[in-house]
């Protein structure tokens, strides 16, 4: 089943909701708070955050989360806290109050602690006993339906992060050699003595176009997604490389997608050549324009990210994040961006995507961007997301 067409899970009770959350997130949460937002009878959004440190004020984070939920045009939500009552109750209460203040109806507020769920809103002992209700996720019909549909709930978030971690051992040694060959190949193509890294790409400016004199795709002044998004299609950050690099990059990107969609894995030299070429912004954007939320896209960029040399992870990490975001796998997008930003905190495409995730922007807000090859600046006004 294509990941862009998730299974519809029928949730009729608090126990069903508790069973569904891990499949909505992709992993079993712990020491977390989760908000599942609905419009009518359809889930439109699910978000998870760490529980605040003991004694910390949950208000600011609760209000931010409520604003993100309201931005989805949700009319109701369920809040689920995972952890001991002393850490969960205040957070769940704060989020519930913030949701109510934005006009979102709180359907239920739950706590999951040591294999039991508790409701903060239901006081009926027959269905919500004060000692909590034991549950077994493996025995739930919701879990069975999700598994049958091919959905996966990993043990925890660390297991999800491990899916984007670098490969090591013989694979790493082979990729290091292949990348050395690719750098020499690119140096010969460009007539330069050394090939670019993520910090110093072909054009001599930061690989994401954030160098001096370049336009940043992140709107200035913290404007977020209000107004226009401006992306340099050419200029100081991307135009200095020879046409041969663009031609080679276009061919490498096409070949990678063709191979992946035939079910074939790229060899070491193909991955190395692709990662070196992706430091050139137009090549990266060509790959971006071909990336959607298909399972094949996620598989391709996961493989490339894990095999890429450390200085070359920024572009494939962002492409994986974009593919995961488009498919509704926000948690996978988040861990991919965390890896990129930990190594390259100034990579502006990663900053842009991270901000979009944090604000709860719908992936459809970037439909078709980038999508032009005429060398002009791409302008895309924010429009109402398609549902």
Do 141 and 176 fall into the same domain?
A: no
Q: Which domain holds residue 221?
A: 170-381
Tell me the per-residue pLDDT of 356-367, one tens digit each, with 9 for 90 and over.
Answer: 998 888 776 766
Q: How confident is the model at residue 175 (pLDDT cuts 50, 70, 90)?
A: very high
Query: Residue 53 falls within a domain, yes or no?
Result: yes
pLDDT value for 127? 87
Query: Residue 106 falls within a domain, yes or no?
Result: yes
Query: Residue 362 falls within a domain, yes or no?
Result: yes
Domain count, the chain: 2
Query: Residue 164 falls within a domain, yes or no?
Result: no
Query: Residue 269 falls within a domain, yes or no?
Result: yes
Name the β-bridge partners of 106.
Answer: 77
pLDDT at 181 over 60: yes
Give the integer Cα–Cα distance in Å for 154 and 172. 25
Q: How confident is the model at residue 206 (pLDDT cuts 50, 70, 90)?
A: very low
Sequential DSSP letters for 62-88: HHHHHHHHHHTT-SEEEEEEES-HHHH
Do 136 and 194 fall into the same domain?
A: no
Do 346 and 207 fall into the same domain?
A: yes
Do 42 and 19 fall into the same domain?
A: yes
Output the six-digit token pair for 318: 């962002």
Specify whether the CB–CB gap between 216 and 348 falls below 8 A.
yes
Q: Sheet containing 76-82: give its strands across.
A: 42-50, 32-39, 76-82, 105-113, 116-119, 133-134
DSSP at 222: G
pLDDT value for 4? 34
Do 188 and 262 fall into the same domain?
A: yes
pLDDT value for 275? 98
Phi, psi dihedral angles at 262 (to 5 degrees) = -90, 0
Helices vs strands, H then E, count in the chain: 13, 8
Which element (helix H / strand E) includes 261? helix 243-261
User: Which alpha helices (DSSP H) does 14-149 contain, by range?
Assistant: 14-25, 59-71, 85-101, 141-148
Of the residues 156, 188, 221, the one at which a domain ends? 156
Give the integer Cα–Cα distance in Å for 331 and 47. 9
Which element (helix H / strand E) includes 36? strand 32-39
CB atoms within 10 A of CB 136: 10
Note the pTM of the prediction, 2 decimals: 0.78
Give the integer Cα–Cα distance in Å for 323 and 319. 6
pLDDT at 387 over 70: no
Do 294 and 345 fall into the same domain?
A: yes
pLDDT at 105 over 80: yes
Do 241 and 342 fall into the same domain?
A: yes
Do 91 and 119 fall into the same domain?
A: yes
Q: What is the mean pLDDT of residues 98-113?
A: 96
Give the integer Cα–Cα distance in Å for 322 and 319. 5
Tell me the per-residue pLDDT of 48-60, one tens digit each, with 9 for 90 and over.
Answer: 999 999 989 999 9
Exposure class string for 228-257: b at 16+ Cβ within 10 A, else e: ebebbbebbbbebbeeebbebbbebbeebb
The whole-chain average pLDDT of the chain stands at: 82
Query: Residue 321 falls within a domain, yes or no?
Result: yes
DSSP at 370: S
User: CA angle, corner 284, sides to 162 and 290, nearest 5?
Assistant: 85
Q: What is the mean pLDDT of residues 338-353?
A: 96
**239 CB-near residues (< 8 Å, 6+ apart):** 203
- Phi-psi map region of 22: left, alpha, beta (phi>0 left; psi -120 to 50 alpha): alpha
Of the residues 91, 124, 156, the one at which a domain ends? 156
Of the residues 128, 156, 184, the one at which a domain ends? 156
Do 271 and 333 fall into the same domain?
A: yes
pLDDT value for 212? 30
Do 251 and 316 fall into the same domain?
A: yes
Do 78 and 175 fall into the same domain?
A: no
CATH code: domain of residue 142: 3.40.140
Q: Where are the beta strands (DSSP E) in 217-302?
A: 228-231
Do 150 and 192 fall into the same domain?
A: no
Query: Residue 4 falls within a domain, yes or no?
Result: no
Query: Residue 311 falls within a domain, yes or no?
Result: yes
Tell me the per-residue pLDDT of 139-163, one tens digit each, with 9 for 90 and over.
Answer: 788 888 888 777 889 999 999 999 9
pLDDT value for 131? 93
Which element (helix H / strand E) includes 47? strand 42-50
**22 CB-near residues (< 8 Å, 6+ apart):** 28, 29, 137, 153
């Amino acid at each position: 089943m294509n990941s862009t067409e998730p299974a519809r899970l029928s949730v009729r009770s608090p126990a069903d909701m508790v069973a569904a959350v891990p499949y909505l997130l992709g992993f079993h949460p712990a020491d977390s708070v989760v908000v599942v937002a609905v419009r009518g009878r359809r889930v439109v959004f699910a978000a998870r955050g760490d529980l605040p440190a003991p004694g910390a004020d949950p208000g600011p984070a609760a209000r931010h989360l409520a604003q993100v939920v309201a931005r989805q045009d949700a009319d109701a939500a369920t809040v689920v806290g995972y952890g001991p009552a002393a850490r969960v109750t205040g957070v769940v209460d704060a989020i519930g109050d913030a949701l109510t203040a934005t006009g979102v109806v709180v359907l239920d507020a739950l706590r999951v602690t040591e294999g039991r769920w508790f409701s903060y809103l239901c006081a009926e002992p027959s269905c919500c006993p004060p000692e909590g209700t034991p549950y077994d996720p493996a025995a739930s019909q919701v879990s069975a339906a999700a598994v049958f549909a091919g959905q996966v709930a990993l043990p925890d978030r660390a297991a999800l992060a491990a899916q984007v971690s670098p490969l090591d051992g013989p694979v790493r040694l082979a990729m290091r050699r292949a990348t050395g060959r690719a750098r020499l190949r690119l140096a010969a193509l460009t007539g330069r003595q050394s090939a670019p890294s993520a910090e110093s790409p072909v054009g001599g400016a930061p690989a994401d176009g954030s160098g001096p004199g370049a336009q940043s795709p992140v709107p200035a002044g913290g404007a977020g997604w209000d107004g226009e998004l401006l992306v340099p299609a050419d200029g100081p950050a991307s135009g200095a490389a020879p046409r041969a690099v663009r031609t080679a990059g276009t061919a490498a990107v096409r070949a990678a997608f063709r191979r992946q969609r035939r079910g074939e894995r790229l060899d070491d030299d193909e991955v190395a050549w692709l990662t070196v070429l992706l430091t050139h912004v137009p090549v990266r954007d060509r790959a971006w324009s071909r990336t959607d939320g298909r399972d094949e896209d996620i598989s391709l960029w996961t493989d490339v990210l894990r095999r890429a040399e450390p200085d070359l992870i920024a572009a494939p990490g962002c492409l994986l994040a974009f593919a995961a975001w488009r498919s509704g796998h926000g948690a996978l997008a988040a861990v991919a961006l965390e890896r990129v930003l930990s190594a390259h905190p100034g990579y502006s495409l990663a900053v842009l995507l991270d901000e979009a995730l944090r604000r709860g922007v719908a992936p459809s807000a970037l439909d078709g961007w980038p999508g032009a090859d005429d060398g002009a600046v791409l302008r895309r006004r924010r429009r109402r997301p398609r549902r």
